[in-house]
Amino acid sequence: MTGDRFRLDGRTAAVIGAGSGIGEAVARACAEQGARVFCLDKDGDKATATAKAINDANGKAEAASLDIRKGAEVETCFEQIRGRAGRLDACVCTPSINVRKTLLAYSEEEFEKVVALNLRGSFNVLRAAGRLMSAAGTGSIVLVSSIRSQVVEPGQGVYAMTKAGIVQLARTAASELGANGVRVNALAPGVVDTPLTAPIKANPAWYGAYADKSILKRWADPPEMAWPVVFLLSDAASYMTGSVLFVDGGWTAHDGRFSPPGM
């Protein structure tokens, strides 16, 4: 049946950032579609809580602490997943941080902090998952970019740089790993209600301005990002690789600053 193409039954999925936000929603959605989910997060307690919620809902999940900034730790973690599950079919990397400052105000330490997690962390995950999947001859990887890979505003420069870099990582990996049966895509969310965007939500004017920028005039909830990710992981997206899927409420599709008279 056509609907079965969206299912993940019998597959093993590693979801990094599963302790909160988009990562938690992705982990829950993958489990709902039948995957055995390894919930990974730097905060092991939060990862455990997500895994427990999945198991309580009759899903299959395990949890572990993982700092993706450490390449060797990522490699070891993924080898352990393969050892426990016998395979790694899907991998999603969601963690990001942002230091909102103009470029001239940025310190070297702040630059390194953002790049270390957003870009190097994504690279570490991509490399480790890509190696296992290439050896197995199958797999799907989703990295999380952003609308900031395309459009920016003051204070978003370094974050935007990392998100643009993630797009090129995904495209290059798709090119290099496609012959091995591995697909790699990127999700580009708009503004989503997560811990990362909490400072914006706390400012009513800022929150409202972001809501008004999208065509739908609202923020997204994490599950609205999770289901597009499930699609990219599933056989329904079997011919998609090297793609960037924008899920932004139309943010990047229109200018939106003025409606001409009579429209």
User: Which residues does the annotation mark as catalytic?
Assistant: 159
Tokens of 109: 């330490």
Nearest Cα to Cα of residue 36 among 172, 189, 233, 244: 233
**Residue where the block lists tokens 């899927």:** 245
**Residue where the block lists tokens 């290099």:** 176
Q: Within 71-149, where are the H helices?
A: 71-85, 108-115, 122-136
Q: In whole angstroms, what is the distance from residue 147 CA to residue 107 CA?
A: 24
Query: For 247, phi and psi rounded to 5 degrees?
Result: -125, 80
